[in-house]
């Protein structure tokens, strides 16, 4: 193991349209594809103009919008991944040797090209609230909506969840989550799709660290919640917190714990009112 991630220079090609069907096989230095709306970000570890030209030729309607050259740390927001140590749980880079302090479970994580290494306050606060929830009673069945790297769902399994289903709309998040499940030897179920399509799945706890638009789509619909008693939600900003808590109140949930960072990012743990 080394102190450096297995990624260095990133060459990113921004392409209009969904380029997945045109990727083909055997692309040299190909790292992955991030799909954002109707734009594909195709990652290589070295310049790949010829490979990208081939992708564009195989995909009618695809068009190169821009190309970018970044270091891996720049792509991850300028933050090098360091071990995150919480009360009872540590998240450590998969490529580094790490010895946890006594009494801590260890989750090894390779975020790859996906955001969600535990350093952002929304992720850290979700983990803190998950630890509190696990201390209260068994986690039972868990849904992790918008799973990213899989960090929350995998932590839930480490903390004794009966089973966890992790969901993300982005195919690169799905493959990254599956890889992290394999790294930790954990039986995480992972599916690709929109979060709202999975909310009806039975679960005791739902976790969703996603932006306001997705939170709104999840909680404004009048649909059965199939025994869901606890929600750990994040990704909303100051102006959206009250709106989210109001939506949850109409569905019978009451906020039990809050976390905030820099008066900007807000995270909540909400329970069915009758549990309090």
Please write down the long-range contacts of 240-244, taking CB distance under 8 Å and 24 or more positions apart.
Answer: 240/212, 240/215, 240/266, 241/266, 241/268, 243/212, 243/216, 244/212, 244/215, 244/216, 244/219, 244/268
What is the rounded distance in angstroms from the CA atom of residue 150 to the CA atom of residue 130? 14
> Shortest CA distance to 204 belongs to which of 140, 249, 264?
140
pLDDT of 150-172, one tens digit each?
999 999 999 999 999 999 998 89
Q: How far is CA 19 from CA 53, 66, 182, in A?
A: 12, 14, 27
Q: What is the pLDDT of residue 97?
A: 87
Is the pLDDT reported for residue 276 higher than 50? Answer: no
Is the pLDDT reported for residue 117 higher than 80? Answer: no
CATH 3.30.1910, domain 9-75, yes or no: no
What is the rounded distance in angstroms from the CA atom of residue 40 to the CA atom of residue 170? 10
Q: What is the pLDDT of residue 165?
A: 98
Q: Which has the higher per-residue pLDDT, 96 or 182?
A: 182
What is the rounded distance in angstroms from the CA atom of residue 151 to the CA atom of residue 122? 12
Q: What is the pLDDT of residue 24?
A: 82
Is the pLDDT reported for residue 214 higher than 50? Answer: yes
What is the rounded distance in angstroms from the CA atom of residue 62 to the CA atom of residue 136? 51
The per-residue pLDDT of the chain, averaged, comes to 90
Q: What is the pLDDT of residue 65?
A: 96
Is the pLDDT reported for residue 4 higher than 80? Answer: no
Is the pLDDT reported for residue 275 higher than 70? Answer: no
Q: What is the pLDDT of residue 3?
A: 65
Q: Are 142 and 202 in contact (CB under 8 A)?
A: no
Domain coordinates in residue numbering, the chain: 9-75, 84-275
Residues 23-50 have a mean pLDDT of 90
Global pTM reads 0.89
Residue entry with tokens 């660290």: 209
Q: What is the pLDDT of residue 82?
A: 84
Residues 17-27 have a mean pLDDT of 89
Q: What is the pLDDT of residue 274?
A: 56
What pLDDT band is residue 124 in, cutting at 50, 70 and 90? Answer: very high
pLDDT of 60-69, one tens digit each?
899 999 999 9
Residue 72 CB neighbours (<10 A): 19
Is the pLDDT reported for residue 270 higher than 90? Answer: yes
What is the rounded distance in angstroms from the CA atom of residue 122 to the CA atom of residue 236? 9
Q: In residues, how long is the chain?
A: 276
Residues 28-52 have a mean pLDDT of 91
What is the rounded distance in angstroms from the CA atom of residue 39 to the CA atom of residue 160? 38
Residue entry with tokens 């270091």: 71
> Shortest CA distance to 259 belongs to which of 239, 276, 238, 243?
238
Torsion angle defined by CA atoms of residues 37, 111, 80 and 15, in that order, rounded to the nearest 10 degrees: -30
Class of domain 84-275: alpha beta
Q: What is the pLDDT of residue 273?
A: 65
What is the rounded distance in angstroms from the CA atom of residue 68 to the CA atom of residue 9? 11
pLDDT of 228-259, one tens digit each?
999 999 999 989 999 999 999 998 999 999 99
Residues 86-102 have a mean pLDDT of 89
């Amino acid at each position: 193991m080394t102190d450096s991630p297995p990624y260095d220079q990133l060459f990113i090609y921004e392409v209009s349209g969904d380029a997945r069907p045109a990727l083909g096989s055997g692309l040299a230095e190909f790292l992955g594809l991030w799909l954002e709306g109707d734009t594909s970000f195709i990652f290589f570890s070295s310049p790949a103009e010829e490979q990208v030209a081939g992708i564009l030729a195989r995909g009618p309607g695809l068009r190169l919008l821009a190309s970018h050259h970044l270091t891996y740390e720049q792509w991850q927001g300028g933050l090098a991944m360091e071990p995150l140590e919480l009360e009872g749980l540590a998240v450590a880079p998969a490529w580094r040797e790490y010895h946890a302090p006594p009494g801590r479970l260890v989750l090894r994580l390779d975020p790859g090209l996906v955001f969600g290494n535990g350093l952002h306050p929304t992720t850290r606060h979700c983990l803190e609230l998950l630890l509190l929830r696990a201390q209260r009673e068994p986690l039972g069945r868990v849904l992790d909506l918008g799973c990213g790297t899989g960090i929350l769902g995998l932590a839930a399994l480490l903390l004794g969840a009966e089973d966890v289903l992790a969901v993300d709309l982005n195919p690169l998040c799905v493959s990254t989550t599956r890889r992290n499940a394999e790294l930790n030897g954990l039986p995480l179920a992972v599916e690709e799709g929109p979060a709202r399509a999975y909310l009806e799945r039975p679960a005791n706890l739902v976790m969703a660290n996603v932006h306001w638009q997705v939170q709104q789509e999840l909680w404004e619909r009048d649909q059965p919640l199939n025994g869901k008693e606890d929600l750990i939600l994040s990704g909303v900003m100051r102006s959206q917190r009250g709106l989210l808590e109001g939506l949850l109140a109409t569905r019978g949930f009451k906020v039990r714990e809050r976390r905030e960072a820099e008066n900007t990012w807000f995270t909540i743990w909400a329970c069915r009112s009758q549990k309090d």
